[in-house]
């Protein structure tokens, strides 16, 4: 299990992003309101569906649904071959905890910015 390092985007000038090639299970830290972005690039020839799950199992009640919704299953975006997706973690905040795990993402390249 590898921890995904964070690349700071604070201040002026360019940054060298810290890229992590994902294995069977990798972790990253999340802090609400910090503007973190998780970028996932798929250099392989097939689609990869990583599952991103927080360490805290809980329910939340989205306004548009009106009933408690479990977040146990996490978030599982499809990343097509050759595609990069960017996940705004604050927009998906109900699916994340302070500590999160990405499984079934082996082969993806992850960049986490703050």
Q: What is the pLDDT of residues 6-58, one digit of tens each?
A: 998 887 888 889 999 999 999 999 988 899 999 999 999 999 999 998 876 56
Strands, E assignment, the chain: 2-3, 6-7, 19-21, 25-29, 37-41, 51-54, 59-60, 69-70, 84-88, 99-103, 109-113
φ and ψ of 50, to 5 deg? -70, 155
What integer best gives the mean pLDDT of the chain?
87
- Model pTM score: 0.85
List Cβ neighbours of 100 (8 Å cut-off, separation of 6 or more). 27, 28, 29, 30, 52, 53, 54, 55
Name all domains of the chain by residue range, CATH numbers in brackets: 2-9+18-113 (2.60.290)
């Amino acid at each position: 299990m590898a921890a995904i390092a964070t690349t700071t985007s604070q201040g002026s000038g360019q940054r060298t992003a810290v890229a992590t090639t994902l294995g069977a299970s990798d972790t990253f830290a999340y802090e609400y309101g910090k503007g973190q972005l998780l970028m996932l690039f798929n250099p392989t020839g097939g689609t990869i569906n990583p599952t991103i799950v927080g360490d805290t199992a809980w329910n939340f009640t989205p306004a548009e649904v009106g009933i408690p919704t479990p977040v146990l299953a996490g978030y599982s975006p499809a990343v097509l071959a050759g595609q990069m997706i960017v996940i705004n973690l604050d927009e998906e905040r109900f699916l994340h905890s302070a500590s999160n795990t990405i499984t079934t993402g082996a082969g993806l390249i992850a960049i986490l910015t703050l």
